Structure 1
Amino acid sequence: MEKDNQTNITRETGKYDVSGVGTVKISEEVVGVIAGIAATEIDGVSGLNPTTTRGITQVFTGKRNVTKGVKVTIDEKKSTIDIVMSVEYGYNIPEVVQAVQENVMTTVENITGLKVSEVNIMVNNISVKKQEVAGKDAK
């Protein structure tokens, strides 16, 4: 396990031993919020899409999930972030996905100190702006 000497962070699990006073753990949901924001900062990302389970949960509970489309798994050996998203029509999907992976990994590591081992992306939709669709219908 990799440790940061200044704050005694166990980077794989996100647990902190703060000056010997106690332990702080960053939840997977917090990491998910950070990852979701970082993903949507990239040009070409039109939105994050909830997984089927989360979408159904939102319908039945009425609660909005701020981490829709993001799943975070943190265990003793690695941390993984899975993102389901839409890309805007006309953008190069591999370039957008690579930019999202890099931004999510860097942002989560910088804000939390957690070592991210994988950022997996699933593009499950292409979004087209209404103006583009209206322009094509007029032809």
Structure 2
Amino acid sequence: MGDNSMLNVSEDSNLGRVEIAPEVIEVIAGIATTEVAGVSYTRGNFATGVVERLGKKQSHGKGIKVELTNNGVIIDVFVVIDYGFTIPDVAQKIQTNIRQALKNMTALEIDEINVHVVGVNMELKEPAVEE
């Protein structure tokens, strides 16, 4: 693997180097996204859907794209929002939750977190049964 395929988390020291694969960031960001109220689920873009239908490997970071650039890390999140939630509020909570989760678990600062709303879930949750 080349140097661009891993993220250095700490400076080189006598103990060695710590590197994190982009797939790890995808998984953490995916979990942080689904924890936000109003997120129905994450969904990949068109290309991801085609690959999945062809029976290729599915990722735990489905709906999350991590791009490593010279300027830092850019994350794109593709989500379906539950009907009735305010999209800008949910998107901001997603960005905050991902940033905090990655900072806590990896000590990485993320340059951009772009939220792409690709659908609205119209199915209403079943009401609680009253006795």
Q: TM > 0.5 between the two? A: yes
Offset from partner CA, 1:73-132 (integer Å, 9 cap, x none):
123421111000000000011110111111111111111111111110000100012568
- TM-score normalised by length of structure 2: 0.82
Question: CA, structure 1 residues 95+66, in 2 after alignment: closer, same or farther (shift >3 Å)?
Answer: same
Of 78, 101, 108, which residue of structure 1 is paired with 2:102?
A: 108
- What residue number does 2:86 align with? 92
Following the alignment from structure 2 to structure 1, what is the Cα–Cα distance between the partners of residues 105 and 9? 14
Deviation at residue 64 of structure 1 after TM alignment:
2.3
Q: Which runs of 5+ in 1 are unaligned?
A: 1-12, 133-139
Contact 1:58 1:65 in 2 (8 A): no
SS of residue in 2 equivalent to 1:90: coil
Paired residue for 1:53? Answer: 47
Q: Which runs of 4+ in 1 moved over 4 A?
A: none
CA contact (8 A) 1:38 1:103 kept: yes
Deviations 1:39-90 (A, max 9, x none): 1100000000111112111222343221111001123421111000000000
SS of the residue aligned with 2:71? coil
CA contact (8 A) 2:9 2:106 kept: no
Tell me how far apart the structure 1 counterparts of residues 93 and 22 of structure 2 sit (CA, whole Å). 22
Give the TM-score normalised by structure 1.
Answer: 0.78
Which has the greater radius of gyration? 1
Q: For structure 1, which segment, 110-119 or 68-77, has the greater mean C-alpha deviation from structure 2 after superposition?
A: 68-77
Counterparts of 1:60-75 in structure 2 under 5 Å? Answer: 60-75=54-69
Gap regions ≥5 residues in structure 2 = 1-6, 127-131
Q: Does 1:35 align with 2:35?
A: no
1:18, distance to aligned residue in structure 2 (A): 6.3
Structure 2 Cα separation of the partners of residues 93 and 54 of structure 1: 23
Amino acid across the alignment from 1:15:
V
Distance 1:124 1:94 in 2: 14
CA distance in 2, matches of 1:131, 1:83: 24
